[in-house]
Structure 1
Amino acid sequence: MSYNPQQIVARGPRAVAEAAAEALDAEVELEGTTYSILEEDEDHDIWRIDAFPTAEEEDLQIQRVLTDFPELIVTAEQLADADWLAMALSGLPPVRAGRFFVYGIHDHGRAPVNAVNLRIEAGAAFGTGHHGTTVGCLIAYNDLLKKSKFGRVLDVGAGTGVLAIAAAKTGTPVAVGTDIDAISVRISNENAKLNQSTARFVHANGLNHRKVRSSGPYDLVFANILARPLVGLSMDIRGALKPQGLVILSGLLRTQERFVKAAYLSHGFKVVRRIHRDAWCTLVMQRV
């Protein structure tokens, strides 16, 4: 029996919404779930979680987790059989993050001549540039580029490929992305072609894929995934980096910052910068 896609929305105070988002992250069965958390009404301290399950089991698991937080008002709305993701994205404005301008086909005419323009089509992948974690990564990378260039860049959990493509479009000759989802890899490679970018993407779980190893060691690693995988990959990311290499970590809530930071500090990293956007945190750390 086919699943009719739904959008699950949960609204409530920031502390409760962040706790619920952290509970979603902690569920192994929901590791690949697409959701966002953002502030909806500052005056009334209302934060909002939007989740987009792709199967009935995932739908039920998300709603089960959210029922553990009675202060949240949870609603679910069935989405049309049409390409609902593309329809939703068509209403999103383009994103400016430093020198980078991220847009979809519906905003092609708005791309400025003085920006690094990234046309990103999401399809069934995650990472259009609108999410606070992706914007945080682009802002961090934009500022790093003011001081240095990066010859080799790895994007772990590439999604739509926006970060590796951004690296390739700003002079990185070797930009490699990985994702555990084969559809995301296909979409990333399609986006690379759309942007006339040399970034390339491989289907891989972790950093041991032959093409990932052969292109390293890296000057910079993007890892925009989730808090627990970030911790689990800390030693592998260290091994993939050159001495003094940098990693941009995101996909973690502010409440998870200490947990992730501690793992990297214990493996010989130091904090260079942190960026907070909505409920999300982006960390820039350096291998020492």
Structure 2
Amino acid sequence: MTEPVLCYNFQFEVDGAYAEAFAEGLYEYCDALSHFERPGDPTAPWRIEGFSGDHLDKAGIVAAVSVMASAVGVDAPEVSFGTYEPKDWVSENLRSFKPISVGRFFVHGSHWDEELPVAKTGLQVDAGLAFGSGEHQTTKGCLAAIDWVAKKGTRSNALDMGCGSGILGMACAKAWRSTVMMADIDPASVRVARENAKINQISDLVTAIHSNGFQDARIRDAGYYDIICANILARPLRAMAHDLTNTLAQDGVVILSGLLSHQEQFVLSAYREVGLSLIKRFKVENWTTLLVG
């Protein structure tokens, strides 16, 4: 009998105020990482889970968790390790993903077979291997921001930095028929973003590339962007402030997301230093999306 293929995971719980900090220190130890709060209980600890197709460096993970706990002044949480049989996550996603309506946008999976609501712009997104089905609060905040910007006028050249499944770039392409550069550090995300652009019949407007931040010269060669979307994490957003503004058109705007509400000033201060100001904030639960320009 063939032995089942196993994948490996670890998990632990930590105060939500420190969840992102712990998560950022563990990406190098696994193939995928998630951190989330328990539904309906905002006071409960957040769960952090890591997944890998290969054996995990248990000692390294425990040590990294201990170092982070010491840095933020809390007791080191107990890390548990386990194995699981891989699932068809795409099929699981399709069964659970309900359509989402944000502003002019109506995000749905390929299983949706009903008519689009009146006056809505459809975005068909099956996340596949890439993060970003549109269900996460930060994605909702970004779509609301794009909708708000679209009501103020046209945009012609967009950048979706850290594109994931490409939902934000596609929203820009459909809102203005603008050209869109999509970039992500994860090659799987780039493949999924390209496929989603094809499904949504906007491949002619979209270029999706593999790039660590702004390192790929094609991002700069595409010209100055009059709208940039970056739904990443607080620390990377701060780190890329100079590179981002160096590619921004004179009248351009930037949508920053992936940050908890208490991280707003931490991120905003970096963009004020490079000459941008807060235009509007969009809050969805305890997550904040910032529009600056």
Q: Under TM normalisation by the shorter chain, which class is it?
A: 0.7 to 0.9
What's the offset of the Cα at 1:237? 0.6
Shift in alpha-carbon separation, 1:185–1:257, aligned structure 2, 3 A: same
Pair 1:115-2:132 in alignment: no
Shift in alpha-carbon separation, 1:231–1:25, aligned structure 2, 3 A: same
Contact 1:136 1:282 in 2 (8 A): yes
- CA RMSD after TM alignment: 3.1
- Correspondence for 2:6: 4
Q: Cα deviation per residue 1:14-52 (whole Å; 9 max; x = unaligned)? A: xx223123321244626974424345124x733644635
Contact 1:246 1:284 in 2 (8 A): yes
Q: Cα deviation per residue 1:50-78 (whole Å; 9 max; x = unaligned)? A: 63523456685777767856798987775
1:62-211 to 2 correspondence within 5 Å?
68=69, 79-109=84-114, 111-197=116-202, 198-211=205-218
- Partner of 2:91, secondary structure, is helix
Shift in alpha-carbon separation, 1:34–1:45, aligned structure 2, 3 A: same
- Which structure carries more relative contact order (alpha carbon 8 Å, separation 6+)? 1
Shift in alpha-carbon separation, 1:27–1:170, aligned structure 2, 3 A: same
Paired AA for residue 20 in structure 1: A
Pair 1:240-2:239 in alignment: no
Contact 2:19 2:48 in 1 (8 A): no
Question: 237, 240, 260: which is aligned to 1:230?
Answer: 237
5+ long unaligned stretches in structure 1: none
What's the offset of the Cα at 1:228? 1.6
Pair 1:35-2:31 in alignment: no
- CA distance in 1 between partners of 2:279 and 2:128 (Å): 34
- Correspondence for 1:51: 49
- CA distance in 2 between partners of 1:175 and 1:278 (Å): 29
Shift in alpha-carbon separation, 1:112–1:262, aligned structure 2, 3 A: same
Q: What TM-score results when the alignment is normalised by the length of structure 2?
A: 0.83
Count of paired positions: 282
Shift in alpha-carbon separation, 1:48–1:235, aligned structure 2, 3 A: same
Contact 2:19 2:46 in 1 (8 A): no
- CA distance in 1 between partners of 2:8 and 2:118 (Å): 38
Shift in alpha-carbon separation, 1:8–1:136, aligned structure 2, 3 A: farther
- Partner of 1:24, secondary structure, is helix
- CA distance in 1 between partners of 2:255 and 2:155 (Å): 13
5+ long unaligned stretches in structure 2: none
Contact 2:26 2:61 in 1 (8 A): no
- CA distance in 2 between partners of 1:8 and 1:82 (Å): 17
Contact 2:100 2:108 in 1 (8 A): yes
Paired AA for residue 207 in structure 2: R
